[in-house]
Amino acid sequence: MRRVLWIIAAAVAVAIPFLVPKTFYLQIVAGAYITAIAVYGLNVILGYTGLLNLGHAAFFGIGAYAVALLETKAGWPFWPALLAGCAASVVLGAMVGSVSLRTRGNYFAIFTAAVGVMIAIVFTNWQELTGGNIGIVNIPPPPSIGPLAFDGDVPKYYLVLGALALTILICRLVRHSLVGRTFVAIADNEDLARAAGIDVARVRLTAFMLSTFLAGLAGGMFAMYNGNLGPDQTGLDITFEQLLYLVIGGIGTIAGPLVGTLVLVGISHELQGMQQYRFLIFGPLLVLLVRFFPLGIAGGFSRLTARWAAR
């Protein structure tokens, strides 16, 4: 059942460029995929280990700015720039993690929020490097690999889709590995995990680094796809938006980040005319969902299918 749904989803995703009439819609879907990659990263740290990283969008920014700067200022091609962007995000993640993971609960959230705000301030104010509020424009597309060229909307869409597929695959593998189970064990009962001989600090740092890797990957993809980049993508409000997608999609589930992002980006787009008033609809939606489906759309769905199967 679940596998069939994934195959259908994959088939639809591959067919979308031939189905939608305007590239405008293709861009919206690709944008949602990129956000979903970042939401998967948030899911690793929040859904698997129970830690709320409010600086998540800043790590997205690190990946994005690294790619944009290496391409425009240092003249690197996209591929090594993407690797460097992911690496930069992970290295910074290791540094921030090794300090912030000494704190717990609300303090962890506050600490990471502060780090996120600081990084966003650097993006906005270091004008010589980042272009300030204007940001970076004319980021070149990836160079072609053999006959594969990446300079149009459709090839870029497939590139983003590939990154998303890779992300989902990594999350699935991790979830079902011993490391993934230690994430769950620590979220379930930290003291017991410690007593069972799990090195809690090291496992948490691993989760944090994986999470920032995915944020960096999403950022790099964002810079590549849009061809331009500004600091508005890296702030606290973006983290909260991603958090909303995750909660509505289903925290800790494999499908949740994708489902939540697609649904909310879709609704958000339909309600674009309402601008910030669209949160008047998101707010009650969130309340209803948390009340009736605390595990989000994906969690609620698997509970319903389990009930049908039990009949």
Partner 1 sequence: MLEIKNLGVRYGAASPALEGVDLTVRPGECVTLLGANGSGKTSLFCALSGLIPSTGQIRFEEREIGRMRPAAIVALGIAQCPEGRQLFPDLSVEKNLRLGAYVGRRDRRGTEAALERVCTLFPDVRDKLRSPAGALSGGQQQMVAIGRALMARPKLLLLDEPSLGLAPKLVEATLDAVAEINRAGTMVLLAEQNAYAALSIAHRGYVLANGRVVLEGSASALQQNELVKKAFIGA
148 φ, ψ (degrees, to nearest 5): -85, 115
3-state secondary structure 121-186: HHHHHCHHHHCCCCCECCCCCCCCECCECCCCHHHHHHHHHHHHHHHHHHHHHHHCCHHHHHHHHH
**Between 4 and 195, CB nearer to partner 1:** 195
Distance in Å, CB of 51 to partner 1, minimum: 17
In the list 114, 184, 271, 286, the residue contacting partner 1 (rule: CB under 8 A) is: 184
Q: How far is CA 199 from the centre of its chain?
A: 26
In the list 195, 306, 309, 310, the residue contacting partner 1 (rule: CB under 8 A) is: 195
| Interface region with partner 1, contact rule CB under 8 A, candidates 75-83, 177-185, 212-220, 277-285 | 177-185
In the list 181, 271, 278, 282, the residue contacting partner 1 (rule: CB under 8 A) is: 181
| Interface region with partner 1, contact rule CB under 8 A, candidates 57-65, 156-164, 193-201, 212-220 | 193-201
**Between 67 and 295, CB nearer to partner 1:** 295
In the list 134, 196, 280, 288, the residue contacting partner 1 (rule: CB under 8 A) is: 196
Rule CB under 8 A: say whether 194 interacts with partner 1: yes
150 φ, ψ (degrees, to nearest 5): -120, 30
Rule CB under 8 A: say whether 49 interacts with partner 1: no
Residue position matching structure tokens 């940001």: 135
Contacts with partner 1, residue ranges (CB under 8 A):
178, 181-182, 184-185, 188-189, 191-199
